[in-house]
Amino acid sequence: MTTTERPQRTPEEIRHRHAENLGHQVAAGVFNPKQLLTSLPDALRKFHPRYQLRNPVMFVVWAGSLLVTAFAIAEPSGFTIAVAVWLWFTVLFANLAEAVAEGRGKAQAESLRKTKKDSVARRLTDTGEERVPGTELRIGDLVVVEAGEVIPGDGDVVEGIATVDESAITGESAPVIRESGGDRSSVTGGTTVLSDRIVVKITTKPGESFVDRMIALVEGAERQKTPNEIALTILLSTLTIIFMLAVLALQPFAIYSGGEQSVIVLTALLVCLIPTTIGALLSAIGIAGMDRLVQRNVLAKSGRAVEAAGDIDTLLLDKTGTITWGNRRATEFIPVDGTAMETLVDAVRLSSLADGTPEGRSVVELCAERYGRSAEPTDHEKTGEFVPFTAQTRMSGIDLGGRSIRKGAASGFTVSDETQRIVDEISAEGGTPLVVAENDRVLGVIRLSDVVKPGMKERFAELRAMGIRTVMVTGDNPLTAKAIAAEAGVDDFLAEAKPEDKMALIRTEQEGGKLVAMTGDGTNDAPALAQADVGVAMNTGTSAAKEAGNMVDLDSDPTKLIEIVEIGKQLLITRGALTTFSIANDLAKYFAILPAMFAAIYPQLGLLNIMGLATPQSAILSAVIFNALIIVVLIPLALRGVRYKPSSAAALLRRNLLIYGLGGVVTPFAGIWLIDLLVRLIPGIG
């Protein structure tokens, strides 16, 4: 994986950077009560039956509201009208929860729409150039973009190199480099070229660009229920059917006992017993999970990916640019076998003049800074034959006046015991050794050092507390990989890794029943990204990588994967906590309504009226009002998410049961009692 060209940041800066993101700032931050008012029109539109049918629990409440309203019109009374009004409020508040969550996404989408610009493309033809609207471009078209022009569509740079302003998409003001070949060739339509000239090969159809897809996703137009949501919906529907049958079965017993119940009371009982709280908030929780990712500049292609992130067992992380800063630099020259330092420095400099890699440039810079050598070749040196570094030879050097100087990995040379010892020591300390030789005689070793990012060990400890195994993937030799892994605190490492090795590791983990997440940015990462359960592609990467992954990080920050896992965990915990709270609620409402229904027939049930509710009617109405209001109270929590602290599954279960289970029992007792104090003041009910 290549290192992102953006300025390096500390993990703390990375975690808080999204708060400064101009593109999505409108949706970030704490829940604002004004959102309830602005989302009200959308909530009212959701009263249509086609919306209600999507949620079986709330559809039952909607149908019950219609039924009670019909009775309120036919035989109006204060109690019947009050119950009908609050049942409709229950449906309204459920609609409002979803509308607020969707409204935040629409605000983000509107921000993204402002970045879209109608541009004229300079399309290349067999005879030259032609100017066409950007909407007429097709996959495979080649377009020229120069400084000051807007890139007309998504594609890959096939010729040239340029700096590009992507602030409209990412909110990042620093320009980025895009160049042909390699893993930084992808460009996004709507961004602006700041310098130079590039030729872009279009890879998407009009209307299917990256920005178009982002808009559709954050608006929820393509949102589908995840497997966990479907399973929970089935559970809630089953509970609703069971409670419906139980309520229907009560009437024959009530008639037999001489205490026939009205349809209004039975409907109120049904609505209060079915899990309306989680039924109303379920969709909002899922939408809010994707919203939290967008706030962090991550585009999730589906809710399934967010959920999967919360269930991850194994995390694959590239060493370079993720665990370490990725900018390995020459820090020391070590002569061997009696070689003079001056001789070694001279050879080291010559061997690196043609090495355009960051490591090669750092060698020349160290020669200049520490030993006063020129960073540019002399006229005499220019007459030599430079040997540039390639991934195949893994060497660089120069042939000059009968001298053949080479620099590369120790495996490419025949080395002495002293040289091998130094190479092993550097590797064991986490550095990278490069051997320098002249005419096959080894002169010395260059130490390249990479630095582990601060705070990584603590973050990996947090992941371990979550039960997640971390694996560092690197192309380094095993000794270097082991030293870096120990310093960073990862659980395991894969050294000298090739693309097929990543695939094999992912498959091995998945065959063991584990879910795997990884990051990637190159075309060679695409198969592994597609194979992983959560594949996070870097925005700087190729189109193939972005298509293969199920998430795209607009900041191209590989450490973001750790945050994504935390957001996924938070989503699952929020859903579980509110489900626990909702079901626990029913216990208190049971104690409020059932004694009120049958106290006249069975006076002994008065002992269960532990809240001291005034009358059967006030008890029923109070329970219905509480059932509606608790939805509004919990909307901010559903959108913000339950606070997540890394801990074991058993500890999380205990915490949920204690806070949301016990809280779900106690809160309705207090709430219904307080509401009853007000309801009993209403004439004809109290």
Q: Which residues are catalytic?
A: 318
Query: Does 409 count as an annotated binding residue?
Result: no
Token readout for 649 is 């599954």
Which of 202, 170, 208, 197 lies closest to 186, judged by CA? 202
Cα separation, 263 vs 668, in Å, equals 24
102 is in an annotated binding site: no
Question: Is 390 annotated as belonging to a binding site?
Answer: yes
Closest residue by Cα to residue 109 from 247, 216, 190, 234: 216
Distance of CA 444 to the CA centre of its chain: 46
E strands, 510-621, are 516-520, 534-538, 551-553
CA 283, 287, 288, 293 dihedral sign is: positive
Q: Is 290 annotated as a binding residue?
A: no
The token pair that represents 19 in the structure block: 């708060």
Residue 359 assigned ligand-binding role: yes
Could you give the count of Cα atoms lying within 13 Å of 331 in the half-sphere of its Cβ?
13
393 labelled binding-site residue: yes
**CB 159, CB 144: distance < 8 Å:** no
617 is in an annotated binding site: no
Q: What is the DSSP string of 49-85?
A: HHHHTTSHHHHHHHHHHHHHHHHHHHS--HHHHHHHH
Amino acid at 350: L
Measure the CA–CA gap between 217 and 552, rounded to whole angstroms: 12
Cα gap 70→77, rounded to integer Å: 12
Establish whether 525 is an annotated binding residue: yes
Write out the two tokens for 631: 């939805």
> Is residue 115 a known part of a binding site?
no
Query: Based on the number of CB atoms within 10 Å of its own CB, is 255 exposed (0-12), middle (13-18) or buried (19 or more)?
Result: exposed
CB 430 within 8 A of CB 480: yes
Instruction: State phi, psi for 226 to the nearest 5 degrees.
Output: -80, 165
**Cβ neighbourhood burial of 636 (10 Å; 0-12, 13-18, 19+):** middle
Annotated binding site: 355, 359, 389-396, 407, 521, 525
In the annotated binding site for ATP, the residues are 355, 359, 389-396, 407
Residue ranges of the annotated binding site for Mg(2+) are 521, 525
